[in-house]
Copies of this chain bind each other. A is one copy, B any other.
Amino acid sequence: MTSLKSLAKFFPILQWLPSYQKHSFAGDLSASLIVAILLIPQSIAYALLAGLPPQAGIYASILPLVVYAFFASSMVQSVGPMAINAIMTATALAPLAATGSSQYIALAASLALLSGVFLTLLGLFKLGFITQLLSHPVINGFSSGAAILIVLGQIAPLLGVSIQGEHVGQLLLQLMLAIPAMQPFGLVCLGLLWLAGGPLAKRLQHFSHGPLLSKISPLLLMLVITATVYFLNIQTKLIGAFSAGLPRLFWPQLNQTNLAQLWLPAITIGLAGFLQSITIAQSLALKTKRSIDSNQELIGLGAANIAAAASGGFPVSGGFSRTAVNAASGANTPLAGVMTAVWIALAAHWLSDYLALLPLPLLAATIILVALRLIDFDFFLKSWRYDSSDGAAFICTAIAVLALGAMLGIVAGVGLSLLLFLYRSSQPHIAVVGRIAGTEHYRNIRRFTTQTSDHIVAVRIDESLYFGNIAKVQTELIDILNKASNTQHLLLIMSAVNSIDFSAMQAISLLQENLRARHIKIHLAEIKGPVMDHLRRSEILENLDGEVFLSAHLAMQTLSGINEDFSI
């Protein structure tokens, strides 16, 4: 029974599939169709963005969805190729192989494999908490910066010219040089798609089948444009014929050279993908009274990436907009994802001749529209207004992405997050307290009019003590004592301290040892039960020259001299 339960925890499909309700099916079916319609052109567009042939996008949209369904902790997540993964794949592989070559394709699969193994390991070792250490400003700064890179990169295919570059300077310069050769067709596509997605979709909401129509109107428009190009014989680049059909399974060959080149990109792509996935999954799960297990989600996304690797795809992740469409279109379970995969497999088999007719500028236009929605300037303004350090984190990460490329940009962002985090965590709050006259309450002397003693310094420590913050506490205590030269007693009030680790305990012990030369005794008050249990197992209580008091007030009454009245 227990093993079955833990198996069901590892394969959530064993929980939801046996109790699958008939009425869930209609929602799953309609969502699967709408997502498939959205995903087919997107997957091709993202494959091209990653420097891969169109079928790589199709392959990345079949097996990964099926495998994800077995491990998924989210009921409505839609995984597959995403814009940010695609551009990071291109950035990682560009220096290693010729774009589109068979070596390039093999490296993309290896990247997905490594990324998947990394995510799966994080999940298995329950290290999901690590990914929660990225601040929102850094995440948004990263995706905004990457989105600008994507838009800049798509201007060339949109306008029918060919340029390359990894960072903003290169791209802008080459674009300027290519102006004379530009064609207006892509701009028309962009304008029409924008109308279909924005103003038109809003109007459609008022009609009876409006919500459905507004979701598929971009696709209908793409059909119309493609047909127009074909029948009117408009001169523009098309995707062109590509090998259709189902993916063949193979295992990417990893050697030491590959590993050395790909491990860092694999980790960064994995992290970036997981952050996109978990954010939307958690937000949607909240609404439905479910909770997301982030470690299980890591395993699910890891498995999906391994599946992408085995079927000739490239790194996949869950994404904001597609998952939102999936949920809004009625998806109830991961079965919707499995059915999406079926539709895409069928389309790959039957429709590849028609997909080959899609004009490249049209795909560029769809990518640009998706990327523009990722640029969150509003977030920057709000975070800046709230706290300038939050705003600075956003803008620094965005600039790092623009100046160094998406890959180094996320490394810089993670580094910045970590630095902020470490700094923030090493700065605990402590306060010198005094008595509110006539009461047993002790409050911060900076905020309240309090009664203090000449030879007792009472300090309330507001956080649990451990190696990460004890150095700062020690420094502050010494500063406080150096200012109060008559001090004979240092009273530490531990009412807010939930734990003291060995390093912190030793530091307090050492502090007493060193304060002995200055004839200062350290006393403790209001220690919580579990903390006291730990302290009793060490020598600290014998090492302290002072005593342990039940309350701050009791301590003050006992330690204060005859000239000072701390009785009530």
The winner among A291, A421, A502, A537 for most chain B CB atoms within 10 A is A502
A385 and B129 within 8 A (CB) = no
Q: Is A545 an interface residue (CB 8 A)?
A: no
B479 and A291 within 8 A (CB) = yes
Q: Which of B289, B475, B514 is A283 in contact with, Cβ under 8 Å?
A: B514
Q: Is A152 an interface residue (CB 8 A)?
A: no
Q: Which of B130, B472, B478, B538 is A422 in contact with, Cβ under 8 Å?
A: B130
Contact with B along A124-148 (1 / 0, CB 8 A): 0001011011111100000000000
Q: In residues 416-434 of chain A, which contact B (Cβ within 8 Å)?
A: 417, 419, 421-426, 429
Q: Which of B291, B294, B383, B424 is A466 in contact with, Cβ under 8 Å?
A: B424
Q: In residues 332-378 of chain A, which contact B (Cβ within 8 Å)?
A: none
How many copies altogether? Answer: 2
Binds B, one of A162-170, A400-408, A503-511: A503-511
Q: Closest chain B residue to A136 by CB distance?
A: B503
Q: How far is the CA of A474 from the CA of B503 in the complex (A)?
A: 29
Q: Which of B386, B425, B502 is A383 in contact with, Cβ under 8 Å?
A: B502
Q: How far is the CB of A44 from chain B (nearest CB, A)?
A: 33
Q: How far is the CA of A94 from the CA of B390 in the complex (A)?
A: 46
Q: Is A21 an interface residue (CB 8 A)?
A: no
A129 and B502 within 8 A (CB) = no
Q: How far is the CA of A514 from the CA of B281 in the complex (A)?
A: 12
Q: How far is the CA of A506 from the CA of B386 in the complex (A)?
A: 11
A132 and B517 within 8 A (CB) = no
Q: Which of B286, B425, B471 is A478 in contact with, Cβ under 8 Å?
A: B286
Residues of B within 8 A of A287 (CB): 514, 517
Q: Is A19 an interface residue (CB 8 A)?
A: no
Q: Closest chain B residue to A429 by CB distance?
A: B498
Q: Which of B130, B385, B474, B498 is A462 in contact with, Cβ under 8 Å?
A: B498
Q: How far is the CA of A422 from the CA of B127 in the complex (A)?
A: 10
Q: Is A463 an interface residue (CB 8 A)?
A: yes
Classify the secondary structure of A's interface with B. helix
A133 and B422 within 8 A (CB) = yes
Q: Which of B134, B426, B482, B502 is A137 in contact with, Cβ under 8 Å?
A: B502
Residues of B within 8 A of A294 (CB): 471
B534 and A386 within 8 A (CB) = yes
Q: Is A382 an interface residue (CB 8 A)?
A: yes
Q: How far is the CB of A253 from chain B (nearest CB, A)?
A: 26
Q: How far is the CA of A464 from the CA of B130 in the complex (A)?
A: 19
Q: In residues 421-473 of chain A, which contact B (Cβ within 8 Å)?
A: 421-426, 429, 462-464, 466-468, 470-472
Q: Please, how many residues of chain A have a CB less than 8 angstroms from a CB on the other chain?
A: 63
Q: Is A212 an interface residue (CB 8 A)?
A: no
Residues of B within 8 A of A463 (CB): 463
B135 and A467 within 8 A (CB) = yes
Q: Is A34 an interface residue (CB 8 A)?
A: no
Contacts A132-B468, A135-B467, A496-B462 given; indicate if A387 touches B423 (C-beta within 8 A): no
A291 and B137 within 8 A (CB) = no
Q: How far is the CA of A501 from the CA of B282 in the complex (A)?
A: 20
Q: How far is the CA of A137 from the CA of B478 in the complex (A)?
A: 24
Q: How far is the CB of A468 from chain B (nearest CB, A)?
A: 5
Q: How far is the CB of A76 from chain B (nearest CB, A)?
A: 13
Q: Is A325 an interface residue (CB 8 A)?
A: no
Given A136-B502, A137-B503, 16 other A-B residues pairs in contact with their CB atoms under 8 A: A130-B422, A132-B426, A132-B472, A133-B426, A135-B466, A135-B503, A136-B506, A136-B507, A137-B502, A286-B478, A289-B518, A382-B502, A385-B537, A424-B466, A462-B496, A463-B463
Pairs across A and B, CB under 8 Å, 21 listed: A129-B471, A130-B422, A132-B467, A132-B471, A133-B468, A135-B501, A136-B503, A136-B507, A137-B502, A137-B503, A286-B478, A286-B511, A294-B471, A382-B502, A382-B538, A386-B537, A387-B502, A421-B422, A421-B425, A421-B468, A429-B498
Give residues in A with beta carbon < 8 Å to B. 127, 129-130, 132-137, 282-283, 286-287, 289, 291, 294, 382-383, 385-387, 390, 417, 419, 421-426, 429, 462-464, 466-468, 470-472, 474-475, 478-479, 482, 496, 498, 501-503, 505-507, 510-511, 514-515, 517-518, 534, 537-539
